[in-house]
Every structure is written in structure tokens, then in C-alpha cells.
Amino acid sequence: MKFEIEYSTIENVAGPLVVVGKVRNAQYNEIVRIKLHNGETRLGQVLDTSSTQAVVQVFGPTDGINVSSTSVSFLGETFNTGVSEDMLGRVFDGQGRPRDGGSSVSYEEKRDINGAPINPVSRRYPSDFIETGISAIDGLDTLVRGQKLPIFSSSGLPHNQLVAQITRQANVKNSSESFAVVFAGIGITYDDYSYFVSEFRKTGALKRAVAFINLADDPSIERIITPRLALSTAEFLAYEKGMHVLVILNDMTNYAEALRELSSAREEVPGRRGYPGYMYTDLASLYERAGIVAGRNGSITQLDVVTMPSDDVTHPIPDLTGYITEGQIFMSRDLVNKGLYPAIQPLGSLSRLMSNGIGAGKTREDHRGVSDQLYGLYAKAQDAKSLSAIVGAEALSDSDKRYLKFGDDFENKFLKQGFYERRSIEDTLEIGWDLLSEMPEGELTRLKKEFIAKYYKKKGTA
Amino acid sequence: MGIIERISGPLVVADEMLGTKMYDVVRVGDSGLIGEIIQLRKERAVIQVYEDTTGLKPGEKVVSTDLPLSVELAPGLLGNIYDGIQRPLEVLESKSGSFIGKGLTADAIGRSKKWKFIPEKGIKNGSMVKDGEIIGHVQETEFLKHYIMVPVGMSGKISGLKEGTFKVDDKIATIEGKGKKHEITMLQRRSVRRSQPFKRKFRAAIPLITGQRVIDMLFPIAKGGTAAAPGPFGSGKTVIQHQLAKWSDADIIVYVGCGERGNEMTEVLTEFPELKDPKTGRPLIERTVLIANTSNMPVAAREASVYTGITIAEYFRDMGYSVAILADSTSRWAEAMREISARLEEMPGEEGYPAYLPKRLAEYYERSGTVESLAGKTGSVTIVGAVSPPGGDLSEPVSQGTLRVVKTFWALDASLANSRHFPSINWLTSYSLYLDDLEEWYNKTFGEEFVKNRREIMRILQKEAELKDIVQLVGAEALPDEERIVLEMGKMLREDFLRQSAFDEADAYTSMKKQAAMISTMLHFRKRAQDAVRSGVPLDGILSVKVREEIARMKEIKESDVEKSEHRIKGEIDSQFAALVKQYGEGERREAVAKE
């Protein structure tokens, strides 16, 4: 048994922070238990320690804490969480306590929620194509196992549906390996939470899923740990149990706001828009936990939802996220207004790991060329569209008119897709070739001649 | 020995530190974390710790090593991957597994391997040797002689020098001077925060050939020069850095992954042993030193990683090699400075960055250059820094501080990247201030046509941009045919020359010879097209010539077929246009006859 001293020396309480005086030798990042006079306990963590006092961040509300009768004990360990395979099918709260009314889980091991950085030489470069069944992703910005690919959305856009559809449909070709979903709801509404639970239940994904839910009215400081619990659980399932884990962090904007709240409580010098200067590093400590470790069977793929405040991609949250993640899926309000689900705007979307996951033997030999060519033509269609807005469609040259038509067809046939519609990669590439075959062959300079010869549908022959 | 008083993130305050010096390396706490003293107040020292401080307690001890932060330099550097403070990541993996543990130390250079050391001709026992002088070499790779130099500050009379096979820390000679005796090994240490002395610096005169058409042709960087590539996320900074690391004709590449993605380093580690150096045909990894301090690794070590890289680069420069150091991204380095500065509670400058940020940036880029080293060799360090401005807005301090000192600016453009035009270097806003310095070299190497053609294509691209503004208002139909030819030429140059795929084997690297051939062919096309317009051929006729597609596919031509293809395509241009002129000319004549 460890010897625990209870300190009743709280000096001040402000926001989520408590300063405990006359403490000797509190560890940096040590976990503390705070006991209120009515017996209620809360957890906290040491943020700053010196030979005379410790600054503690409380996970949870600070109401009821007082200076005279609240006691604090230092637990001598950093924040660990229990993990086990039995967690599959269960729902926990933002601090990892069961919230589904089920029994408590017996844990197989304890893990530090902050994890440890993967040694870059121990990583295996992600190269397994994940078929999401969505053309805009598979065809243009392919998701690869071990990738971190956020969804840049905005309020009012159907990102929850998109996440649900990907979760339902995603699979790796020719693979029967075991998979799991770890879902972290960070400051989401009860509505969103129940949407996901019912979607997962409908498709049977719930049995293979672990959910950590911090609701919008739960303590915001808890949001700092919710994604870390999810990622530690995912690491256990991936690296100890050999599962391919899809981690969904929803919504990272709420996380970043909690980080800002904590930073301002600590009276730190604010960076852009009040977010702390270390936000890049902090976000990286979450996103970089995606990946594949050489010599282990599992993998962690991350889909992170980021809602862009006022649709602004240069806002610090999406901006810093984009600098860390391996691309982004960009959702567009314009496309939603046109009635286009899933509203993924390819211009603005990117998958950095695509090259290694596509091509002959993985998807198809012409995949890169088709994707580049569709991109190039769609970009030209946008130019033609803005030109026609000024000079009128009549004044456009023939080639601009062709681009314009291509743009419309591309949106309606390629980008547009049903919520329950699942397209194989071959279907997706076929649609791509249907569109490309409407263009003169000479326009297709981003495609190799041999692929044009093989796939281009000459008029009257297709 | 000191005592920890306070811990706040990567900063530790320790008491009883009297006698320690600024920037000394210390071991912090019972687990011996590595740190560096960055502030002294009487007995109290502020230490930035290069590892995660979780679990550290006040009251634990701090021990000074009495040495500044330095790197180990010896045969065995090449092909290695280090963290920001030169701990070899492969050794760390063998010590703590796939995840990096704490308090680990490891020699940067393996001590067990033996190298064959050959003394320099002309250096005999009893010779007087000076600082930095070469006393011998080791053949480290098939193509690289690793010269062993006298460490700075150890000049004198040499003795005990002999040929043989040694470990890097075996004594290979003794130097006696100024009343002191120094044992010389193949391994030397250099402090990272100060630039190394050299005899003199030269002006830039030779380009670093990168095989990237937009760079080599329009915005070249000189060997010993500096360049910055700022751009928003997704604009292809990393791909450009990787391309330069792969294809530029430097002897040595130092690649610093500073606060970026782990998978990017993995990519380099997977690819470089497979890819061949176009100059030597050997695996690229043999000329590369990697420094990886990814975004989730400790922030203080990220601050150090850039210095570790440049010090290694200078070491090879001193041997007479051309070295290119690629840092991706210098913004993360600046942010690390900001984070440490904020914890020190320094008065912040712009956007929270410390007031000394511009000075640090300038100091770093100033460590570039072509120099005559103390050894009397001419070597160069070329610095290319990626910059990641928030929201892509270049008015922020890191971009501005960088642009004030670098001479080549590659403006990465989000809208180009969105339409998958890579490299997304904007040809209107980028610049290279080396063009004049390099002109002599171009003239000597490729003849005067090269520079002339270069100016010509810049003119076309600028004219195209002007015309496009007009087209935006009135539509292309309103322009005369001669100007529409300019539009077509601009499109050809952009799509068929400037755009280059890093993922296509034939396209990823283009030799200067092939670049010159492509440009010459395209300008030949323009000349014929202009002639045709003047002789009355309508634009549609010109646009329909078949040879345009062949020009578009010139990038796929093999390097060995360049001359033949250029000749053939130019011939095609001539004959197809001749046919066109004849067809329309005859048409006009027939019309004229009919009228009569």
C-alpha cells in the first residue's frame, strides 16, 4: 500500500484550477484526488509543481470546492486508464466510467492516457487502401489504413451522416482481419450522441465499438482527457490485440475550445484568437497517435471531425489540424445547397497518403491519372463558371462550354451519392471514365496514353 | 549538483546551480532527462528539458555535464536517423521498443564499428598542423571520402599518426601545442549553437540543380544559397522538400523533419534506400543524414533539431562537399522557441513570438554559403526552409523574418494545389535573386540561348496573366488571334512544362538538357504559330495541329532520347505548320479566284 497524505491546504480556486500549498514533491502531471466535505471525489492533474505548491487542474466542475474543508491527495502516478477487450460494445463517459448502465469492466492492463511518441523508425508506412464506398473519397482522396484524415465541416453540414456512412461501409479489400471502432464524442449534443448509437446499433457496428462520450453540458475540462482515453484504448486494441481500429474524434473544435479555456484560466499568453501557442503541439499529441507500428498486426486510422467556425478554413483549429493531419476531407455548404450529399468538395480536399495506397494491385493502374485528370478538369470548370458569370454563357468558347458541362456532370454523377449507396472502386473509376470520355482525347494530358487506349469510351462503341 | 525547485512543462527551475554555465547540458532528475541551461539567476538555473517531464518531482537532483549542447561527428554519420539532439533513433528503438522511452542515452556514432584510416599525404609525424586541417580520411561510402580534420583549438605538432583500422574513439594521433597535449580520434564534437569558423566566403556562382523544372528554369537556387518555401497546408511543401532531397545534385543531404508528421520520416526511410542518386547511382540514403523530431516528440528538442542539422552540414562543408540542408518546417522551430519563451515569461514580441525570433532566423540562414574551409577546401551549405504560415498568410512573423534573409522565394499557392498543379510554385510571385550571379555559369554551360529562352518564357507567362485579366472581363473571343496565341502558349508552359509529377518515374526528375530541349521546342512552336497567324491561318486551325499533343508528352521522354525527340518534334512542327499555311493559303487563293 502506498502512503497517501491528504492535504487540506488549498490556497485558491479559479476556474478549473486549484492551487494547493505546502505540498512537497508533487510530480509533474501527477494525478490527484480531491475530496469535498460531503465525501464526493473528483480527479485532477498537476500542471505546475514547485517545492512549496502545486497547481492542479480539476477534471470536472470546481463547484463545492472550498479552501477550508476540501482535501487533496496525490496519488503518485500519472493519468492511467484501464483497458480491455471487454470494453467493446460498451459506452463510457468522458472520464471512462460506464454510462450505459452496464457492470464495471475488469481491465486487462493500465495505460498512460498520454501514450508515448512512436519512434519514426518503428512506423510502417501506410499503404493499405480502405474502400469507403464513397466516390469522392475513394476516387479522389483515398483513405489509407493508418492515416489521420479529418473532416473539415461547418455547422449545419451532414458530417455526422458522412462519418456514419464511412463507419458502416469502410473495409479493406480482401481482408478478413478483425476491426474495431473507437468513438470519442467530445462536447457533442445528446441528439448527435443518440444518432451515432442508433446508427451503430442498426448496422451491428456497436458490438465492435467502444464509445467515450462527453456531452455538451458535461464539464469542458473533461474534454482534454476524453480523446486521450479513446486513443489509449485504441492503442491497446490495435497493438496488443491486433485489431484495425478506426478512431473517430468528434468534434475537435470542442476539444480546442476546452484547451483555450484551460489556457486562459492559467493566465497564459494567448496566441491567435486566444488559443494557446502550444496548440499545434497539443493537437499533434493526439493526431500523431494514428499509424501502424512495424511488427504489430493492428493499426489506428483516425477520422477527426473539425467544424470550422464561420466556415473559415484559416481559423486556427482547422489550420493547425491541416498542418498535422495527412490531408483533409472538405465539406462544402455550396454543394449542400445544391442538394448534393455527401457534399465533399474535392478542391480543398486532399489525401497525402493516397499515392502509396492506389495503383495496380491495390486499386487500379489508372487510378492516379483518373484522379488528377478529374481534378484538373473540375478546376477548369470552376474557372469557366466564374467566367460565364461575367460574360454570360453565350460568350464562352466551345472548350469552356465543355468544361462547364463537365463540371455539372461531375457533381451530379460522381460527387453525388446516396446515404446507403456503396460504390466499389471499380464503379467509381468507371463513372470517372464515363465523364472523361465526354472530353476530347487531346484534353486528357494527365493520363498515360496506354490508359486512354484501354479505358476511354469512344463514341458509339461504349 | 543542483536540486529541482519547480517544474512547468518542458521547463525546470533548479537551485544550488552555482558554477554552471549558460547553455551547458544537464541531466535532470532521477531518470537523468537531458536538458540545457537557458537562464541563470544567481544560484538558480532555468533548464529546458529535451524529454517529457511527466513524473519529475521537486527535490530531485540536477547534474551538469559542463559541456555545451554538441553533436558527435565521425565516420558513420551518413545514412543515420537522429532525433533533435542527435540520439540515434534506431538505437533508441532497440532500447525502448516502438515507443520512445524516457531518459535514454545512446552514442550518436556507433563505437564498435572499425574504419580504415589513411593519413593524408604530406602530413608526417612531427609536422605542424593547424585548426581544421585535414590529417587523413576514411572511405565512408563508395563515393565519399570522410576527411578527418584537426578539431578547432588543437593546433600544434602531430605525433603518433599512423594508418590502420580504428574505432571512432581510438587514438589516431597526438597533437602538442601551446603547452597542451591533445589526443586525436576520428570523432570530434562541435557545439551546435555557434557557426563554425572558415577562411572566407564566396559569392554564389553555381546553381543547385534540382531536376524540378520550375525551380531550375525559373527560380533557381545557388549552391551555398538560401531559399524559403512558404505555403498553407496541402500546398506541397513537404513534397518539394522530398524532391529536393532526392534529386538535387548536392554531395550530402541533411534532412530535418522539425515538428512534422511521423509518417513523412517513415516515407523517407522507406524510399531512400531504394532510390538511386542520379549522380552516383548509389542508394540515396548513403548521402543522407536524417534528423527527425516529429510534432509529438518533445518541443525543446525540436528547437535544437535545426541546430543539430546545420552543424552536421557545416562539418561536411568543411571537407569540401556541397551540402544541402532541408528543414521542414522552420515554423515549428519558431513555435518551439515561442513556447519556451512563453514559459520563461519573457515579454512577447509579435504574435507571441520572442523578440529575438528574427535574429535567430537570420543567424540560421547566415550559416549557409560557399566557403573556403580551414582545411583549404571549397564546400557549400545550401539552406532550404519550409515555412508554414497560419492560414497561408505571409504577413506573419516567421514568413517575414525569413523573407528578409533568403534570396530565393518559392511562393506555394493553394489554388494551384487544389487543381493538382504541382509543384504549386506560383510563377508570378516567386523570385530568385541568384539569376544574375548564375548567368555566367549558364552561358558557359548551355550557351546564351538558355538565359534568353528563360527570359522569354517569363515574359509569356506574365503577358498571359495580363491577358487573362482582360479575358475575365470581355471573354477570350474579343482578343486578336496573336494575343490568343500568347494565351495558348501560357497554357502550354504551365501545363506541359511547369507542372511536374513527383509520383511519375519519368517525370519526377528532368535533367537540364531535357529542360532546355522542352523549352526550345515550345518556343519553336510559338514562332511557327505566330508566323501562321500572320499568313492568315485562323486560330482554330493552329489549335488543331496534332503536334501539340506530342509537345505535351515531352515530359515522358526518356533522358537518353532527348536530342532525337527534340529534333523530330521540331521537324513535325515545321511540316505540320507548313501544311496548314498551304491549306489556308490555297483556300484564300481559291476564294480570290472565285470572286474574280
Cβ–Cβ of A117/B296 closer than 8 Å?
A: yes
Tell me what the mean pLDDT of segment A135-140 comes to. Answer: 96
The gap from C-alpha A329 to its chain's centroid, in whole angstroms, comes to 10
Considering the domain architecture, whether residues A27 and A140 belong to the same structural domain is answered as no
Maximum average pLDDT range among B476-485, B557-566, B583-592: B557-566
A438: distance to nearest CA of chain B, Å? 18
Picking from A47, A119, A281, the nearest residue to B93 by CB comes out as A119
Q: Is the dihedral of CA B424, B428, B429, B430 positive or negative?
A: positive
Cβ–Cβ of A24/B89 closer than 8 Å?
A: no
pLDDT given for residue A16 in this prediction: 87
A48: distance to nearest CA of chain B, Å? 5
Tell me the average pLDDT of chain A: 92
Picking from A124, A324, A391, the nearest residue to B261 by CB comes out as A324
Q: Which residue has the cell 451532414?
A: A158
Considering A299, A322, A357, which residue would you say is the last residue of a domain?
Answer: A357
A226 in B contact zone (CB under 8 Å)? no
Q: Residue A380: list chain B partners with CB under 8 A.
A: 419
Tell me, yes or no, whether A461 lies in a domain. Answer: no
B395 in A contact zone (CB under 8 Å)? no
Cβ–Cβ of A122/B93 closer than 8 Å?
A: yes
Cβ–Cβ of B263/A146 closer than 8 Å?
A: yes
Identify the residue with better confidence: A366 or B153.
Answer: A366
Tell me, yes or no, whether A97 lies in a domain. Answer: yes
Is it the case that residue B343 has pLDDT exceeding 60?
A: yes
Considering the domain architecture, whether residues A70 and A95 belong to the same structural domain is answered as no
Considering the domain architecture, whether residues A344 and A207 belong to the same structural domain is answered as yes
Is it the case that residue A461 has pLDDT exceeding 60?
A: no
Considering the domain architecture, whether residues A237 and A342 belong to the same structural domain is answered as yes
Cβ–Cβ of B81/A449 closer than 8 Å?
A: no
Q: Residue A289: list chain B partners with CB under 8 A.
A: 296
Cβ–Cβ of A395/B261 closer than 8 Å?
A: no
- Taking alpha carbons only, the member of B320, B331, B436, B310 closest to residue B378 is B320
Considering the domain architecture, whether residues A62 and A106 belong to the same structural domain is answered as no
Considering A357, A379, A406, which residue would you say is the last residue of a domain?
Answer: A357
Tell me, yes or no, whether A234 lies in a domain. Answer: yes
Cβ–Cβ of A272/B265 closer than 8 Å?
A: no
Picking from B59, B238, B342, the nearest residue to A269 by CB comes out as B342
A46: distance to nearest CA of chain B, Å? 9
Picking from A78, A315, A326, the nearest residue to B261 by CB comes out as A326
A298: distance to nearest CA of chain B, Å? 14
Domain that holds residue A425: 367-455
Tell me, yes or no, whether A14 lies in a domain. Answer: yes
pLDDT given for residue B102 in this prediction: 81
Picking from B98, B263, B476, the nearest residue to A397 by CB comes out as B476
Q: Residue A120: list chain B partners with CB under 8 A.
A: 81, 89, 257, 262, 265-266, 269, 292, 294
A124: distance to nearest CA of chain B, Å? 7
Question: What is the ipTM metric for this complex?
Answer: 0.89
CA distances from A337 to A156, A311, A342, A387 (A): 11, 14, 11, 21
Q: Which residue has the cell 569558423?
A: B197
A274 in B contact zone (CB under 8 Å)? no
Considering the domain architecture, whether residues A253 and A334 belong to the same structural domain is answered as yes
B351 in A contact zone (CB under 8 Å)? yes
Cβ–Cβ of B420/A288 closer than 8 Å?
A: no
Tell me what the mean pLDDT of segment A359-369 comes to. Answer: 94
Picking from A118, A323, A355, the nearest residue to B98 by CB comes out as A118
Considering the domain architecture, whether residues A255 and A339 belong to the same structural domain is answered as yes
Domain CATH code at residue A214: 3.40.50.12240
B225: distance to nearest CA of chain A, Å? 27
Confidence label for B584 from pLDDT (cuts 50, 70 and 90):
confident
pLDDT 10s digits, B40-81:
998 999 999 988 898 899 999 999 999 999 999 999 999 999
Considering the domain architecture, whether residues A194 and A329 belong to the same structural domain is answered as yes
- Taking alpha carbons only, the member of B428, B391, B392, B389 closest to residue B410 is B428
Tell me what the mean pLDDT of segment A262-289 comes to. Answer: 90
Residue A345 · residue A335 · CB < 8 Å: yes
Domain CATH code at residue A16: 2.40.10.170
Tell me the percentage of chain B whose pLDDT exceeds 90. Answer: 75
B564: how many CB neighbours lie within 10 A of its CB? Answer: 11
Confidence label for B589 from pLDDT (cuts 50, 70 and 90):
low
Cα gap B172→B166, rounded to integer Å = 8
Tell me, yes or no, whether A362 lies in a domain. Answer: no
Residue B228 · residue B409 · CB < 8 Å: yes
Tell me the average pLDDT of chain B: 92
Cβ–Cβ of B261/A328 closer than 8 Å?
A: no
Cα gap A96→A141, rounded to integer Å = 34
Cα gap B52→B43, rounded to integer Å = 25
Least confident window among A264-278, A279-293, B521-535, B558-572: A264-278
pLDDT 10s digits, B246-301:
999 999 999 999 998 999 999 988 889 988 887 888 999 999 999 999 998 988 89
pLDDT given for residue A462 in this prediction: 41
How many interchain CB pairs under 8 A, A with B?
220
DSSP string, B398-452: HHHHHHTT-SEE--B-HHHHHTT-SS-B-TTT-EETTHHHHHHHHHHHH-THHHH
pLDDT 10s digits, B380-411:
999 999 999 988 899 999 999 999 999 999 99
Identify the closest residue of chain A to B59 by CA–CA distance: A25
Interface list for A 437-456 with B (CB within 8 A)? 442, 445-446, 448-449
DSSP string, A69-83: T-EEEEEEEE-EEEE
pLDDT given for residue A24 in this prediction: 79
Considering the domain architecture, whether residues A69 and A213 belong to the same structural domain is answered as no
Cα gap A138→B485, rounded to integer Å = 38
Confidence label for A2 from pLDDT (cuts 50, 70 and 90):
low
Does the model's pTM come out above 0.90?
Answer: yes
Interface list for A 227-246 with B (CB within 8 A)? 239
Confidence label for B352 from pLDDT (cuts 50, 70 and 90):
confident
Supply the DSSP symbol for B298: -
Tell me, yes or no, whether A200 lies in a domain. Answer: yes
Cα gap A355→A6, rounded to integer Å = 57
B56 in A contact zone (CB under 8 Å)? yes
Considering the domain architecture, whether residues A315 and A252 belong to the same structural domain is answered as yes
Cα gap A334→B99, rounded to integer Å = 44
Q: Residue B495: list chain A partners with CB under 8 A.
A: 445
pLDDT 10s digits, A51-97:
889 999 998 888 888 888 899 999 988 889 999 999 999 999 999 99
Considering the domain architecture, whether residues A427 and A320 belong to the same structural domain is answered as no
Cα gap A59→A96, rounded to integer Å = 12
Q: Are strands A350-351 and B33-41 parallel, antiparallel or unpaired?
A: unpaired
Return the SS3 of A208. Answer: helix
Interface list for B 416-435 with A (CB within 8 A)? 417-421
Is it the case that residue A394 has pLDDT exceeding 60?
A: yes
Considering the domain architecture, whether residues A242 and A273 belong to the same structural domain is answered as yes
Tell me, yes or no, whether A330 lies in a domain. Answer: yes
pLDDT given for residue B350 in this prediction: 87
Number of domains in chain A: 3
Interface list for B 512-571 with A (CB within 8 A)? 548-549, 552-553, 556
Considering A357, A380, A403, which residue would you say is the last residue of a domain?
Answer: A357
Cα gap B3→B23, rounded to integer Å = 18
- Helix (H) or strand (E) segment spanning residue A109: strand A109-112
Identify the closest residue of chain B to A395 by CA–CA distance: B475
Tell me what the mean pLDDT of segment A102-114 comes to. Answer: 91
Tell me the percentage of chain B whose pLDDT exceeds 70. Answer: 98
Identify the closest residue of chain B to A127 by CA–CA distance: B267
Helices B262-271, B237-247: inter-axial angle, 10-degree rounding:
20
Domains of chain B: 2-68 (2.40.30.20), 118-185 (2.40.50.100), 200-434 (3.40.50.300), 447-595 (1.10.1140.10)
Cβ–Cβ of B58/A50 closer than 8 Å?
A: yes
Tell me, yes or no, whether A122 lies in a domain. Answer: yes
**Cell matching residue B521:** 521546342
Cβ–Cβ of A347/B418 closer than 8 Å?
A: yes
